[in-house]
Amino acid sequence: MKGIQDYYPDHFAQCYGCGRLNEHGHQLKTYWDGEHTITKFVPKEYHTAIPGFVYGGMLASVIDCHGTGSAALAFAKQQNIDLCEHNAPRCVTASLQVKYLKPTPIDGEIEIKGTIAEINERKATVVAELYAGGKLCVTGEIVAVLVPDNFGE
């Protein structure tokens, strides 16, 4: 399944978390599932904090990229953009808050569900919930800002 990240222009496709052109990164994909956004990720053994559990910084990283991807999806929807190669809106993180509720097991897929809490002309707030084995482990709030197409060139 294609995620919003597959539609980013090449100069926005280098992100360690979600860049399709970063061969060493996570290459996350964020997409709509009804009124929510979804990102799935399988942590590797080297993402360990302590044996059996995912490193907290890694969890913050995937929540961050899920948030900016979710915001980009929301802006595309708000602006009636029919996504095609390299035309997706792109956002950067203005604020990231993460709350660790319980240790996140490393032995399976994690799923991040996003809700667009607020959106205006240039800023979106995304509330994220990270689940492992069907259990809520981490929550986050991401404020993402829409950037111009030539940002970073």
Nearest Cα residue to 139 out of 115, 105, 121: 115
Q: What is the percent of the chain with per-residue pLDDT over 90, rounded to a whole number?
A: 88
pLDDT tens track for 34-62: 999 999 999 999 999 999 999 999 999 99
| Residue 147, CB-side half-sphere exposure with 13 Å CA sphere | 18
Q: What is the pLDDT of residue 153?
A: 62
Token pair in block for residue 34: 């009804």
Q: What pTM was computed for the model?
A: 0.95
Backbone angles phi, psi at 103, to 5 degrees: -60, 140
Confidence of residue 99 (pLDDT cuts 50, 70, 90): very high
* 95 close to 105: Cβ distance less than 8 angstroms: no
